């Protein structure tokens, strides 16, 4: 897994009819770091996330991962270039096991394809075994090893969120986009999830873009923070720097 490339967001503007949701926003996600994007409601965080994952197309500006131009690519192309996101609504059969969910995350990596698998070619069998082994490793890494054969739907909420995260990891990303990963969690689940996210950075060297409301989690996890307000980048730096920035305090208190 090579992580030597930074994710560069340069002068990205997104306009919706009459409204500028992102106004020439720039920031760089350093390889192997957690970069938080924060800001009050309506600041443009989700829009930013949607541009990075290809769901929205920027009106102008660019997004690059190392030398690869991501600007304007469809979500599946961006994913194939190594930028994975979690999906809140896993379109899975309700009784699919965790193992099945994670194997689905590996589909884009399947070389031999369904035809070979259907014909039961030896190459396909070898590949299927390798995928299953990797699924076990990733489940172990995030703490789902004992849950692989359970239907994801019976797991507590915190663990279901870990399934989403593990499924994204199964795509072997270089950058992982997390939109409010601890929203709706208990204090214990928040701590556990934060530890897993830190482990993804430190153990796997994957860069993480974190859109998150929980300031405690942001301050503990983030290496760098970009602060948005009304679509503009109003501050950036380390968590300590932005926490003490008057413009940030002002934005959160409301003018
Ligand atoms: P945040 O996630 O920080 O709360 P959003 O990115 O969701 O902010 O929204 C930023 C602004 O863009 C808001 O004013 C919101 O109403 C607007 N917006 C977001 N998505 C759309 C859309 N698809 N169409 C029109 N306006 C949108
Ligand atoms: Mg949002």
ipTM of the complex: 0.98
**Which residue minimizes the CA distance to atom 15 of ligand 1?**
42
pLDDT at 209 over 60: yes
Q: Which CATH architecture has domain 1-82+173-255?
A: 3-Layer(aba) Sandwich (3.40)
- What pLDDT band is residue 110 in, cutting at 50, 70 and 90? low
**Which residue minimizes the CA distance to atom 25 of ligand 1?**
16
Q: Which atom of ligand 1 is nearest to the CA of 39?
A: 3
Q: What is the pLDDT of residues 20-70, one digit of tens each?
A: 999 999 999 999 999 999 999 999 999 999 999 999 999 999 999 999 999
What pLDDT does residue 94 have?
65
Residue at token pair 């075994």 = 129
Q: What is the pLDDT of residues 132-150, one digit of tens each?
A: 999 999 999 999 999 999 9
**Ligand 1 pocket mutation, candidates 21, 55, 183, criterion most atoms within 8 A of CB:** 21
Residue at token pair 């199964």 = 170
CA 229 to chain centre: 21
- 25 pairs with which residues across the strands? 12
DSSP string, 55-69: SS--SEEEEEETTEE
pTM (2 d.p.): 0.91
pLDDT at 115 over 90: no
45 lines ligand 1 (CB under 6 A): yes
What pLDDT does residue 253 have?
75
What pLDDT does residue 93 have?
63
Least trusted range by pLDDT, from 74-88, 165-179, 210-224: 74-88
What pLDDT does residue 13 have?
98
- What pLDDT band is residue 2 in, cutting at 50, 70 and 90? very low
CA of 189 to the centre of ligand 2 (A): 21
CA of 122 to the centre of ligand 2 (A): 46
Q: Which atom of ligand 1 is nearest to the CA of 56?
A: 23
47 lines ligand 1 (CB under 6 A): yes
40 lines ligand 1 (CB under 6 A): no
What pLDDT does residue 84 have?
93
pLDDT at 107 over 80: no
Q: Which atom of ligand 1 is nearest to the CA of 44?
A: 6
- What pLDDT band is residue 3 in, cutting at 50, 70 and 90? very low
Residue at token pair 């304007």 = 72
DSSP string, the chain: ------EEEEEEEEEETTEEEEEEEEEEE-TT-EEEEE-STTSSHHHHHHHHTTSS--SEEEEEETTEE-TT--HHHHHHTTEEE--SS----TT-BHHHHHHHHTGGG-SSHHHHHHTT-HHHHHHHHHHHHHHHHHHHHHT-GGGTTSBGGGS-HHHHHHHHHHHHHTT--SEEEEESTTTT--HHHHHHHHHHHHHHHHHH--EEEEE-S-HHHHHHH-SEEEEEETTEEEEEE-HHHHHT-HHHHHHHH--
């Amino acid at each position: 897994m090579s992580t030597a490339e930074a994710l560069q967001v340069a002068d990205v503007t997104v306009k919706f009819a009459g409204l500028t949701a992102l106004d020439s926003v720039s920031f760089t996600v350093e390889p192997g770091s957690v970069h938080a994007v924060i800001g009050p409601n309506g600041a443009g965080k989700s829009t930013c996330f949607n541009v990075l994952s290809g769901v929205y197309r920027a009106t102008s500006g660019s997004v690059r991962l190392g030398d690869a131009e991501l600007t304007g690519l469809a979500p599946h192309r961006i994913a194939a270039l190594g930028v994975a996101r979690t999906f809140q609504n896993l379109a899975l059969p309700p009784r699919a096991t965790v193992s099945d969910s994670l194997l689905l995350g590996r589909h884009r990596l399947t070389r031999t394809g369904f035809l070979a698998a259907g014909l039961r070619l030896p190459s396909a069998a070898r590949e299927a075994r390798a995928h299953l082994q990797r699924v076990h490793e990733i489940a172990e890494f995030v703490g789902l090893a004992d849950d692989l054969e359970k239907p994801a739907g019976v797991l507590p909420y915190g663990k279901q969120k870990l399934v989403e995260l593990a499924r994204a990891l199964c795509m072997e990303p270089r950058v992982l986009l997390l939109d409010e990963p601890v929203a709706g969690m208990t204090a214990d689940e928040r701590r556990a999830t934060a530890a897993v996210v830190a482990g993804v950075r430190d153990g796997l060297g994957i860069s993480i873009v974190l859109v998150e409301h929980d300031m405690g989690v942001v301050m503990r996890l983030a290496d760098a923070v970009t602060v948005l307000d009304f679509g503009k980048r109003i501050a950036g730096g380390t968590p300590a720097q932005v926490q003490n920035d008057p413009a940030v305090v002002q934005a959160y208190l409301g003018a």
